[in-house]
Structure 1
């Protein structure tokens, strides 16, 4: 089978196509024929050795896949053969292996897909969908004016929809460029603001009568976080979920204290439990299959185009979720 392997750290060109034996499912395992593998921004950081942890090389990246069960191991119900499933590898202690044609995993880790949900959409609802769902749950937006960064991206495009469903009074989308803002507005944002405009935080305050946003969901980090802070209302909450890109200093934190603002961190993995994970994904899958949640696809690439997929993600011009199609 074909797989994408990382043998050394560097630019997208270090992602290489290799041939590996198709794995055999052991006792309690199933063999999944991968039909869509999600590409995540943190994987571009891993590739450059800029993430919170340094992976052991060589490795096959990829932590989320969707596909069909082609074989079952000893002790597994034969009725699972042919089932359409998703595999949230990041949540089951499998941090590698998704950029490949086949994957052998514990049968208990797969989640069945409803009819009408594509493999691409299922892959997009794993890391990004769960992140958006838990961001809304941990910082409920009901009756509030909320601001969503990267609002046309994988997390942001889902987050603004879920915030609307959860009763947000007003959703302000921040993204880079008119096309992305059009996407955000089509998904339910009340207002779109281009973060590339100097002083865009002032536009948020102007649009809110000088008050600012009650809740800011920031999954971008860096300089964007400082502008988000300027757009945050007194007593507002800044929810930060951009691991490794926190740049606020003492002055900004002291300003938050003086305005009774709060900073709330967000990390997905510690929030997931085996029981909750299955229920959460079932909820997301059902919403998407019913057309109540729109999954924004950002591009489909073959395995041998993994480097191009990484370039597209790093360029920031893509919208929605980028997937590999083995």
Structure 2
């Protein structure tokens, strides 16, 4: 909290130890995954205990590990919202950065919905992660020009992609226009630091919708829908534990440094 005490981190998993007034006491002992633990409150998940509103402690099926529970939260909710907030997707999906936590979840969620998925990556290691998540085609955008990347994406999705889950909206604006089908939706959940060059006329001709997503502010109805969608995916086995980088509670600073340095997979803190 600004100027005050703050335990960091939003996501986590564990067992309910106690409940407050008005909450079903039968929830004590329940296995749960958490979201937004540190949102507008000082008690994040980098601690032995945290306190959250009951709706933010979501039942975790017995077959799902705490590693998985701690790995979903914001990344999986963001991926679900980028994909399905407007309803079912009716064509191929392009996932930019398919090795990241959001991108990996987006690939798995889209494949579970029966969609063709193309992913762009920047290294062989990241390509392997995207393929492992189920991407039908993986394109290394460093291998050529934007036009080359567009041709490779079009080879996998000849009629164009219907939706883009975008991590770098400024860098990829031209690519998205080249590979988009009519009525393309670009859902960007990150900012790569530059103004996004959105050509009005070309976007109008294709009825392209550019959306910018911050899961913290999408509203309660959208959050509830994302939680429900992620919970369904967990129960179905769609989401699995990504590559993990493990740190002890005493090494919280190092864990945050790993995130800032672009660790491939998910950084978790063992308590």
**Which category of TM-score, normalised to the shorter sequence, fits these structures?**
0.7 to 0.9
Deviations 1:225-284 (A, max 9, x none): 45444443465332222258462136x44443355433223232344437962x753553
Q: Indicate the residue corresponding to 1:158 in structure 2.
A: 105
1:15-26 to 2 correspondence within 5 Å?
Answer: none
Q: Indicate the residue corresponding to 1:320 in structure 2.
A: 265
Q: Which runs of 5+ in 1 are unaligned?
A: 1-53
Secondary structure of 2:264's counterpart equals: coil
Number of residue pairs the alignment of both structures matches: 269
The reply on whether 1:256 has 2:174 as its aligned counterpart is no
1:306-317 to 2 correspondence within 5 Å?
Answer: 306-316=252-262
Select the structure that is richer in strand. 1
Q: Indicate the residue corresponding to 2:132 in structure 1.
A: 186
8 Å CA contact 1:175–1:193 kept in 2: the answer is yes
The reply on whether 1:202 has 2:143 as its aligned counterpart is no
Q: Quick one: structure 1 residues 105 and 236, their matched pair in 2 at CA, closer, same or farther if it must change by over 3 Å? A: closer
Comparing 199-208 with 156-165, greater Cα deviation is found at 199-208
Comparing 86-95 with 172-181, greater Cα deviation is found at 86-95
Q: Distance in 1 between matches of 2:80 and 2:236?
A: 17
Q: Distance in 2 between matches of 1:91 and 1:104?
A: 9
Q: Indicate the residue corresponding to 2:220 in structure 1.
A: 273
The reply on whether 1:214 has 2:162 as its aligned counterpart is yes
By how many angstroms is 1:108 displaced? 5.1
Q: Quick one: structure 1 residues 122 and 273, their matched pair in 2 at CA, closer, same or farther if it must change by over 3 Å? A: same
Deviations 1:170-205 (A, max 9, x none): 211112211211121122211101233341552333
**Structure with more contact order per residue of length (Cα contacts < 8 Å, sep ≥ 6):** 1
8 Å CA contact 2:90–2:162 kept in 1: the answer is no
Q: Quick one: structure 1 residues 226 and 309, their matched pair in 2 at CA, closer, same or farther if it must change by over 3 Å? A: farther
Secondary structure of 2:17's counterpart equals: strand
Q: Indicate the residue corresponding to 1:149 in structure 2.
A: 96
8 Å CA contact 1:125–1:281 kept in 2: the answer is no
Q: Distance in 1 between matches of 2:113 and 2:177?
A: 23
Secondary structure of 1:71's counterpart equals: coil
Q: Which has the larger radius of gyration?
A: 1
Deviations 1:144-182 (A, max 9, x none): 1221011111111111121222232x2111122112111
8 Å CA contact 1:235–1:259 kept in 2: the answer is yes
Q: Indicate which of 240, 248, 256 corresponds to 1:294.
A: 240
Secondary structure of 2:214's counterpart equals: coil
Q: Distance in 2 between matches of 1:221 and 1:311?
A: 24
Q: Indicate the residue corresponding to 1:22 in structure 2.
A: none
8 Å CA contact 1:164–1:171 kept in 2: the answer is yes
8 Å CA contact 1:144–1:215 kept in 2: the answer is yes
8 Å CA contact 1:65–1:86 kept in 2: the answer is yes
